Amino acid sequence: MWLCRCECGSERVINGIVLRDERSRSCGCLKSEVTTARSTKHGHSSNTHLTPTYHSWVGMMQRCTNPNSRAYADYGGRGIKVCARWRAFANFLEDMGEKPLGLSLDRLDNDRAYGPNNCRWATAIEQARNKRSSRVIEFGGRRLVLSEWAAILGLNQSSLSERIKRWGLERALTTPRLR
């Protein structure tokens, strides 16, 4: 019998025959490490924790593929799909990278599928401006939503909307705000 110290630091008494036959290579920690490595696909989910990036991916998949999801009607129900490549989390992660703190997954064109050419990590303000209900106004070679034009002019949205209704687009966007 031999007292052996494992690389992890624990000590065990091992039969000499087992050592000579190389049937023991660790105290048992190696088996645990190998099992964990074999069963871990990407390291972004466990029984108790989802990383923010994985949580975003799961949410996207649910909205687009699960008819029982509360958001399905606004996504999968109206034909919004997830590109074939992104059905595997590893590919989504490779294309989008880790989710930055304070940002969320956003589609540039709300009528197109989730995919690498149509998605970005966006702020809450960018998300709010990029909704189907947002009023997009094209003027002077720029395409912005009403709230962005209002911010540029120093007006609130309702004032700008009223200006457009009364004066027309060009006058509403070129007349400075009265101080």
DSSP 114-165: BSTTTEEEE-HHHHHHSSTTS-EEEETTEEEEHHHHHHHHT--HHHHHHHHH
Residue 35's pLDDT is 58
**In sequence order, what are the residues at sequence separation of 6 or more whose Cβ sits closer than 8 angstroms to the Cβ of residue 166?**
172
Residue 45's pLDDT is 62
Residue 48's pLDDT is 63
Residues in the chain: 179
* β-strand pairing of 136-139 with 2-5: unpaired
Residue 47's pLDDT is 58
Residue 127's pLDDT is 82
> What distance lies between CA 3 and its chain's CA centroid?
51
Residue 162's pLDDT is 87
Residue 33's pLDDT is 60
Could you report the average pLDDT of every consecutive run of 10 residues in the chain (179 residues)?
Answer: 85 87 76 56 63 92 93 94 94 95 92 95 84 77 83 88 89 84
Residue 26's pLDDT is 75
